[in-house]
Amino acid sequence: MTRETRGSPYAPGDAADTEAMLDAVGADDMEALFDIPEPVRSDGEFGIDARSERDAARLVERTLGRNDDLTEFMGRGHYDHYVPALVDDLASRQEFLTSYTQYQPEVAQGFLQALFEYQSMLVELTGLDVANCSMYDAATALGEAATLSQRVRPVSGDRILVPDHLREGKREVLEAYADGPGLSVEAYPTDEGTVDTEGLADALDDDAAMVYAENPTICGAIEPELDAVGELADEHDALFVLGSDPVALALLERPADVGADVVVGEASALGAGTAYGMGAGLFATREAFLRQVPGRLVGVGEDATDRRAFTLTLQTREQHIRKERATSNICTNQALLALRTAIHAATLGPDGLVTLAEDCVTLARDLAARLDEVPGVRAPVNDRHHFREFQAHTDQPAAAVASDLESEGFAVHVVGEHRVQVCVTDANEPAVDRFVDAVAEVA
């Protein structure tokens, strides 16, 4: 192991400078700078070796190299679309990458404008009036929507209704957010992978503060009766919160047209690729709730020369000003990922984005049809239109099928004793033939 330095190469300064600076502050040595009482001082022996840049890079590469190289047919809330090279190139420009929250808008016009453009694209995609410039992920955005519903509802009500097939991780995050304000998260039934509207009607009462649905659902099914969900929510003065993502929103029913009050979801379906679940939560809502929106908002203003300029706005909602009365505790958000989403969407343009979305339907339809022909497999399980993904029945135990598929170089979700979920996009489409062969081999 090469040890290039005993100090940090990113903390510059030679001995002479150090000496002069210590003199200037009146300290004998570096240790004298630390105003720490003896009993709580420690020796700094963490037992972590320093490495050269090359060795540290190799350590990461070698460690991550222990992952198996599998072609993933996985989704369920975390999606892989091909990310154009332009996205990586522009988003890694240091003036974006190494900047901070735009507290001084005069030197942050570039990022502010890019975030304003991101907000605007979400307004077009959702049909709602305002979007913020990111939450952590879809699950935390859903949690924020729940607390928002409680704040804006004219009468009290503490029930949050979610589909019974909601992804467990998302439900747990929602419960974490719901716990403090005393909201209770309850499931309503689904049928064939989408909302069972009769079941929802039965579950609803005037204590419901919010009804949540997803389009497409976690099963990959496209909701056929979203307007009915919106109407049911309305009848009980509950907020209708819809989960989706920017690719699906390009094609599926416009949330505003089905009565959605809030749209949450994963902006990262554009611009990020798979990153072990790292995402960017999108959040859009109606103007009536503007002052209750969590997170940062970029608005238009004018500068001293009367030119249009951009700035963070309505900051009195935020934690650094409002403290315990803030709409949310979110501070650091996912701004860089929002930038990537915007650049990706702009690179595709409306035609490219709609085509990508349509491919999500046809690729899933075609793959389901091909798997359905494999003896021992039935797909799709749900009699619905699908987007990117669908569930398939396997006569063999699903866990065994998935494990055998891994040996063949493929990863799928196990969602039931005899049920797997398969996701196909432009990213794994070239491997579809080999995948179908592998399923035929192991099923």
- Is residue 304 a contact residue for another protein (CB under 8 A)? yes
Tell me the C-alpha to C-alpha distance, in Å, between residue 7 and each of 14, 27, 57, 359, 429.
11, 20, 18, 53, 48
Q: What is the DSSP letter of 135?
A: B
Axis crossing angle, helix 138-152 with helix 168-179, rounded to the nearest 10? 40
Binding of another protein at residue 46 (CB under 8 A)? Answer: yes
Structure-derived torsion over alpha carbons of residues 284, 290, 296, 297, reported in degrees to the nearest 10: 90
> Which 353-382 residues touch another protein, going by CB under 8 A?
353-354, 358, 361-362, 365
Does residue 292 touch another protein according to CB under 8 A? no
236, two tokens: 């009980």
CA distance 64 to 133: 32
Among 2, 15, 28, 64, binds another protein (CB under 8 A): 64
Asked whether the beta carbons of 191 and 198 are under 8 A apart, the reply is no
List binders of another protein among 66-85 (CB under 8 A): 66-70, 72, 74, 76-78, 80
Return the number of the residue (94 or 375) whose C-beta is nearest another protein: 94
Is the sign of the CA dihedral 127, 133, 134, 135 positive or negative? negative
Scanning residues 248 to 267, which ones bind another protein (CB under 8 A)? 250-254, 257
Least distance in angstroms from the C-beta of 375 to another protein? 25
Calpha distance 51→63 (Å, rounded): 15
Cα–Cα distance for residue pair 401/419, rounded to 1 Å:
10
Q: Does 328 interact with another protein (rule: CB under 8 A)?
A: yes
Q: Up-side HSE of residue 410: CA atoms within 13 Å toward CB?
A: 31
Q: How many residues does the chain have?
A: 443
Q: Restricting to residues 183-212, which ones interact with another protein according to CB under 8 A?
A: none
Give the nearer residue to another protein in terms of CB position, either 155 or 307: 307
Nearer to another protein, 335 or 371 (CB): 335
Count other Cβ atoms within 10 Å, centred on residue 34: 8
Segment near another protein (CB under 8 A), from 190-198, 228-236, 293-301, 368-376? 293-301
Smallest separation (angstroms) from another protein to the CB of 65: 6
Q: Does 103 engage in binding with another protein (CB under 8 A)?
A: yes
Asked whether position 334 contacts another protein by CB under 8 A, the answer is: yes
- Of residues 393 through 422, those in contact with another protein by CB under 8 A are 402-403, 406, 411, 413
Nearer to another protein, 8 or 156 (CB): 8
- Which tokens sit at 282? 């999108």
By CB under 8 A, residue 432 contacts another protein: no
Instruction: Check residue 324 for interaction with another protein (CB under 8 A).
Output: yes
State the minimum distance, in angstroms, from the CB of residue 189 to another protein.
21
Segment interacting with another protein, rule: CB under 8 A, options 135-143, 185-193, 369-377, 390-398: 135-143
Residue 160 contacts residue 185 (beta carbons within 8 Å): yes
How many angstroms separate the Cα of 241 from the Cα of each of 259, 268, 284, 379? Answer: 9, 19, 10, 30
CB closer to another protein out of 118 and 188: 118
**Strands 377-378 and 208-214: what pairing?**
unpaired
**Residue 288 found at the interface with another protein (CB under 8 A):** no
Stretch that binds another protein, among 122-130, 186-194, 230-238, 435-443 (CB under 8 A): 122-130
